Structure 1
Amino acid sequence: MATVFVEPRPKGRQEGSPITDYVVEDHADHVLATFGTQHEAITWSKRNGHSPHVARVRHLNDKKRPDHWRAV
């Protein structure tokens, strides 16, 4: 099972600004798929044999730091 990361876009958005969509990315920041909701992104990831992770705190999302992420 490959670990993937579900992240809101746009990246680097200011707190309180709207999320336009959610992306599923690999460790190298390659976008695998785009969805309107986080739930859809997680569901797609699981159906395709991935282990989805989401940020524990939205602004802490360094993929090289496992403590920034939690499996869902």
Structure 2
Amino acid sequence: MSAAYIEHRPKSSDPNASTAHYVIVVNGKEEGPFSTQKAAKDKACKDGHRPVHVARARHLQDRAQPAHWRVDPC
């Protein structure tokens, strides 16, 4: 299965913007919404996605930055 990315929504450059929900992004397609990162991560693991990358910093959306992600061991 493809790698999954758990991201917050809405995307915002405003550091004071609140997170409304989380989504799973796989091959550019979003699945969700999920109320917590854990719920999104658990669903991605259950669906067999490996690896599952969970965003460390809420306001960075650059998937090319390895420091932005932590890999969840499912």
> Does the 8 Å contact 1:9/1:23 carry over to 2?
yes
1:18-29 equivalences under 5 Å are 18-28=18-28
> Does the 8 Å contact 1:9/1:21 carry over to 2?
yes
TM, length-normalised to structure 1: 0.78
What secondary structure sits across from 2:4 in the alignment? strand
Rounded to whole Å, the distance in 1 between the matches of 2:18 and 2:57 is 17
Q: Which residue of 2 aligns with 1:69?
A: 69
Runs of 4+ aligned residues of structure 1 deviating over 6 Å after TM superposition are none
The alpha carbon displacement at 1:55 in A equals 2.1
List alignment gaps of at least 5 residues for structure 1.
none
> Does the 8 Å contact 1:27/1:63 carry over to 2?
no
Q: Which residue of 2 aligns with 1:8?
A: 8
Q: Which residue of 2 aligns with 1:43?
A: 42
CA RMSD, Structure 1 to Structure 2 (Å):
1.8
One-letter amino acid matched to 1:20: A
> Does the 8 Å contact 1:61/1:69 carry over to 2?
no
State the number of aligned residues.
71
One-letter amino acid matched to 1:31: E
List alignment gaps of at least 5 residues for structure 2.
none
What secondary structure sits across from 1:42 in the alignment? helix
Rounded to whole Å, the distance in 1 between the matches of 2:68 and 2:31 is 21
Rounded to whole Å, the distance in 2 between the matches of 1:45 and 1:66 is 19
